Homo-oligomer: A and B are copies of this chain.
Amino acid sequence: MTSSRQPDILISEVGPRDGLQSVKATMATADKCRWIDALVAAGLREIEVASFVPAHLLPQMADAADVVRHALQHRGVTVMALVPNLRGAQAALRAGAQKLTMPVSASAAHSLANVRKTPDAMVEEVRAVLRLRDDIAPGVRVEAGVSTAFGCTLQGHVPEDDVVRLAVQLAEAGADEVGLSDTTGMGNPAQTRRLFSRLFSSIGARTGAAHLHNTRGLGLANALAAYEAGVRTFDSSLGGLGGCPYAPGASGNVVTEDLVFMFEAMGLSTGVDLNRLMAARAPLQAGLPGEPLYGMTPEAGLPKGWRVGAAP
């Protein structure tokens, strides 16, 4: 089963950042490291391990630099960090992060509530981070993720023209990748296909990841639509960690286990070993006792006779 070809799909695991910053409990640094080790062992090649924000705002992320340094011991995995601004980028680059992601909201209301900046001011912040990167860490990729790209709980409808215009601004500013985030779980497959198709038309190969939520159960259908539009990088979270405060009981992020199962069952390689991936739930659960984990594939198990890329 060994193959030298590049996997078809890049799964970008966001649980250690997006998941952990959404739960109330703070996972101990050693537990985070054990969980990340298990994710690497499962074959994940990109992991968003931390968020570089002031510790008084997000105490769950106070050990961001330590976690980045631990993850850097692994070969073959891109160690990624979220940075909301220039100061965060300085700290992340100092710790050695290999890829940065910056959230830029398409909804002005959400942007002001989230980072107290307008979308235009956030584009300026991305420019500043790119200059810093060029100066001190030219090998580091910078992704901008357009959040609330599919709708906003504050503003409601977000015009697709606004999303595309912002993506173009970010690409022109020099972001290596511009992804789209369904922050609020309001997206549908037709919209997902339309928006990513427009992105490919407008910014070509700079089109980045689909960051989708499963709030209304459409996460995998939206991922399928994004795949069909040409997207090959998908954010997801082990166990769907990262609940939505406005949707009690509903999982937030797309579940990595189910997403990998879908692509592998379709015959698309992810490089991820599903059995080891499910085993990585144990260190997650150990570090966050009592926190509910989601995922249909882990509950049901792999189908009888299931094999990767089974021919028809």
Contacts and interface: CB of A to CB of B under 8 A. Distances in A.
- Give the size range of A's interface with the partner: 35 or more
B266 A296 contact: no
A64 B297 CA distance: 35
Interface stretch (A34-42, A173-181, A215-223, A282-290): A215-223
A280 B215 CA distance: 21
Nearest to A251: B296
A188 B265 contact: yes
Contacts of A250: 296, 299-300
Contact of A216 (B160, B297, B310): B297
Nearest to A247: B300
B217 A151 contact: no
B214 A266 contact: no
A260 B40 CA distance: 38
Interface in A290-312: 295-297, 299-301, 303-306, 310, 312
Interface stretch (A51-59, A66-74, A83-91, A189-197): A189-197
Interface in A184-230: 184-186, 188-191, 194, 214-218, 220-221, 223-225
Contacts of A306: 186
Contacts of A221: 220-221, 223-224, 262
A166 interface: no
B224 A297 contact: no
Given A220-B217, A255-B217, A296-B214, A312 B194 contact: yes
- Among A215, A246, A296, the most chain B Cβ lie within 10 Å of the Cβ of A296
B184 A303 contact: yes
Contacts of A303: 151, 153, 184-186, 216
A176 to B, nearest CB: 27
A156 B214 contact: no
Given A216-B300, A250-B296, A224 B157 contact: no
Contacts of A48: none
Nearest to A266: B190
B217 A305 contact: no
Contact of A262 (B218, B247, B266): B218
23 contacts: A151-B305, A184-B303, A185-B300, A188-B262, A188-B265, A190-B266, A191-B265, A194-B312, A215-B296, A216-B261, A217-B255, A217-B261, A217-B295, A217-B297, A218-B261, A220-B220, A221-B223, A221-B224, A244-B300, A247-B296, A247-B299, A249-B299, A250-B296
